[in-house]
Amino acid sequence: MEIGEAKKILGEVYSFSADDLNNVIQELNLPGDAKILDVGTGMGSMAITIALHGFQVITGEPGDDETIYARQNWQENARKVKVESLIEFKAFNAGKMPFADGLFDAVFLLGALHHIPAEERPEVFRELVRIAKSGGIICFFEPRQKVIDMIRQKDPAHPDSAEPENYRPEGDLTLRQTTGENFDAFIYTLA
C-alpha cells in the first residue's frame, strides 16, 4: 500500500507525521532483510510506516506505561492498512532492552525521547548504541516547536522536544540531521 492511501485510511493523526517518516525511510535505503526496532509504539505510526515499505519491525514500549501516549490501538491501525503481520510488539523499557548487542540495522524513535526523563536519556542512548549493528542507524524523530505548541493546546504539561545530541554517548557516531514539515530527524550512523 502506498503512503498516500494509508494516510486516507488512518486519518489526520497518522498523516501528521507520515510524510516526514516516509521521506527518511526512503532516503536510508535499508536492505530488504534489515532488522528494525521502533522504540515507543504509541499509535503505531513509526512501525506502520516502516512496514508499509515491506520491512518486518519489532515495536515496543514499557508494559506499565499508562500515559495517554502509550497503549494506543496501534494493532487496529496496522490491520486497517494490512501490515499487522509485519509488526511484532514486545513490552520493554528503553533503558534496559531485552535485545542482544549489535542486533538491529536500524532503530527508530518517533517523538519518544522527550517523554523519557532527562536523567535517563544518556542511558537510553547508550542502550540504542549497544543494540545497533556496526554501520547501523539510530534515528530520532522529534517534533518541531510548532507541533509542541499545538499539542500543548490539549496537553499543557507536554514536555519540550529533546535534542539527542545532548545525550550522545562516547563513541564513533556520525550525525546527519534533516528538517521535516512537523518532525526533525536526527540520524546517527554507528562506525
Mean pLDDT computed over 174-184: 96
pLDDT per position as a tens digit, 10-45:
999 899 999 999 999 999 999 999 999 999 988 899
Q: Determine the pLDDT at residue 126.
A: 96
Split at pLDDT 50, 70, 90, the class of 158 is: confident
Q: Determine the pLDDT at residue 66.
A: 56
pLDDT per position as a tens digit, 58-84:
999 876 555 554 456 789 999 999 999
Q: Determine the pLDDT at residue 62.
A: 72
Residue 186 has pLDDT above 90, yes or no: yes
Mean pLDDT computed over 140-160: 91
pTM, full prediction: 0.93
3-state secondary structure the chain: CCHHHHHHHHCHHHHHHHHHHHHHHHHHCCCCCCCEEEECCCCCHHHHHHHHCCCCEEEECCCCCCCCCCCCCHHHHHHHCCCHHHEEECCCECCECCCCCCCEEEEEEECCHHHCCHHHHHHHHHHHHHHEEEEEEEEEEEECHHHHHHHHHHCCCCCCCCCHHHHCCCCCEEEEEEECCCEEEEEEEEC
Please give the share of the chain, as a percent, with pLDDT higher than 90.
81
Domains of the chain: 3-62+69-190 (3.40.50.150)
Mean pLDDT computed over every residue of the chain: 92
